[in-house]
Structure 1
Amino acid sequence: MSTASRGVVCLSATAASAADWVRRGIVPCHVLEHASWSVVVPARTSAAAGAPYDDALTVLASRHIRPRLGPAIGLFRFDDVAVLTGRAAGRASTRWALRDGDGRVVGGEDLPRLSPEDLHRTLASGPATREVPIRRVRDLWHRSELTHDEWLVEVITVLGLPGGRVLDGTDTHLGPVIAPHARSIAGFESAVKDVHQ
């Protein structure tokens, strides 16, 4: 991944289940297993599909997560915007928080908004981890002095999730690349072919 953009998705699932999810998508990824979460990291900047679906980070951030893989929390940086996504366990929808260049956390147009309370509930619906006070999550929305990279690392640290060393660039030994199945790529291309016309 380029230093201008990076991201991870933390799934409350085994590494085998997370790898299966990657194979059913269009983004080659690494999967790192931790005690209660698996961390999915895009392995390349390009997805295995044509434009406008060729940006790996955008596709990964917006990808549907099956209920049995949740809860899920995504942390991404796209040049001048940091993005935080959260989907609680069960059939909840994914919610979004975008952090602009001034360090303000806002909602995205036509996207369900992720509030600190939503994020706290998402975390609480997952595997047993240390309890995080809601005030610490609310404080994250006011940390405007941090860069986007620092803010994302602070979010993952406060939440007690793995993947901070991937986000800050210090963990570069991510293991093998898991490639999407050819049939998944073909199915995706078939589903979106009308968009290209």
Structure 2
Amino acid sequence: MSTAGRGVVCLSATAASAADWVRRGVVPCHVLEHASWSVVVPARTASAAAAPYDDALTVLASRHIAPRLGPAIGLFHFDDVAVLTARAAGRAPTRWALRDSDGRVVGGPDLPRLTPEDLHRTLAGGATSRLVPIRQVRELWQRTDLAHDQWLVEVTAVLGLPAGRVLDGTDTHLGPVIAPHARSVAGFDSVVKDVHQ
């Protein structure tokens, strides 16, 4: 995993469904199954796609998640920003919260903004074993005292997501790498090539 960043996607789906999602993408990943969520962790810093789509974290953070795999929550740390994404169950759009270098949570340009209320509704629609009080979710937006990595781990603790040990680097037993299907990579490269022409 890159020292410049870390990231995970938590899917409210079985590990088998999450692994199938990985195979249909372009990022080699590990899939960890927990009681309520499957955690998808990029296995390499580079995706299997050609540049400029070869950064695994960026591609994974922006990847479409099918309704049957939701709700889904993504947590990412890039060089100078933390990113939190959430996609509620059904056909809801993925919403984004970006945490800047001052610890302020802001929206991104041209991205549907994620509010604490959106995140709370997303979590309530999942297979989580506990409902988190909205007050605790709102307090996450106020935590300017934490570094990005610490903030993302705090998000997992408050939301009850099983990804904190992956994000803080203490869980290193991630299992086998699931590689994308060659046809998925070829299809992706073909589509983005057509877009750039």
Determine if the TM-score, normalized by the shorter chain, exceeds 0.5. yes
**Aligned equivalents of 1:88, 1:135: Cα separation in 2:** 19
Whether contact under 8 Å (2:85, 2:114) holds in the other structure is yes
Identity of aligned residues (%): 85
1:2-81 residue pairs with structure 2 within 5 A? 2-81=2-81
**Residue 171 of structure 2: SS of its match in structure 1?**
coil
Matched, 1:150 2:150: yes
**Residue 117 of structure 1: SS of its match in structure 2?**
helix
The corresponding residue for 2:118 is: 118
**Residue 119 of structure 1: SS of its match in structure 2?**
helix
**Aligned equivalents of 1:59, 1:117: Cα separation in 2:** 26
**Aligned equivalents of 2:145, 2:126: Cα separation in 1:** 30
- Listed one character per residue, the Cα deviations across residues 166-196 of structure 1 (whole Å, up to 9, x for unaligned) are 0000011100000000000010011111344
Equivalent AA in structure 2 for residue 124 of structure 1: A
- Listed one character per residue, the Cα deviations across residues 6-46 of structure 1 (whole Å, up to 9, x for unaligned) are 00000000000000000000000000000010000000000
**Aligned equivalents of 2:75, 2:192: Cα separation in 1:** 26
**How much does 1:129 deviate?**
1.6
**Aligned equivalents of 2:192, 2:143: Cα separation in 1:** 39
**Aligned equivalents of 1:3, 1:143: Cα separation in 2:** 23
**Aligned equivalents of 1:172, 1:128: Cα separation in 2:** 24
The corresponding residue for 2:176 is: 176
Could you state the TM-score of these two structures normalised by the residue count of structure 1?
0.99
Structure 1 unpaired stretches of 5+: none
Whether contact under 8 Å (2:128, 2:160) holds in the other structure is no
- Listed one character per residue, the Cα deviations across residues 111-148 of structure 1 (whole Å, up to 9, x for unaligned) are 00000000000000111421100000000000000000
User: CA separation of 1:102/1:128 partners in 2, compared to 1, >3 Å: closer, same or farther?
Assistant: closer
Equivalent AA in structure 1 for residue 181 of structure 2: H
**Aligned equivalents of 2:187, 2:67: Cα separation in 1:** 21
- Listed one character per residue, the Cα deviations across residues 139-171 of structure 1 (whole Å, up to 9, x for unaligned) are 000000000000000001100010100000001
Aligned-pair Cα RMSD in Å: 0.7
Equivalent AA in structure 1 for residue 83 of structure 2: V
**Aligned equivalents of 2:68, 2:121: Cα separation in 1:** 17
Could you state the TM-score of these two structures normalised by the residue count of structure 2?
0.99
Equivalent AA in structure 2 for residue 92 of structure 1: A
Give structure 1 regions of 4+ aligned residues with deviation exceeding 2 angstroms. Answer: 194-197
Equivalent AA in structure 1 for residue 162 of structure 2: P
Aligned length: 197
**Aligned equivalents of 1:77, 1:23: Cα separation in 2:** 23
**Residue 176 of structure 2: SS of its match in structure 1?**
coil
Equivalent AA in structure 2 for residue 67 of structure 1: P
The corresponding residue for 2:132 is: 132
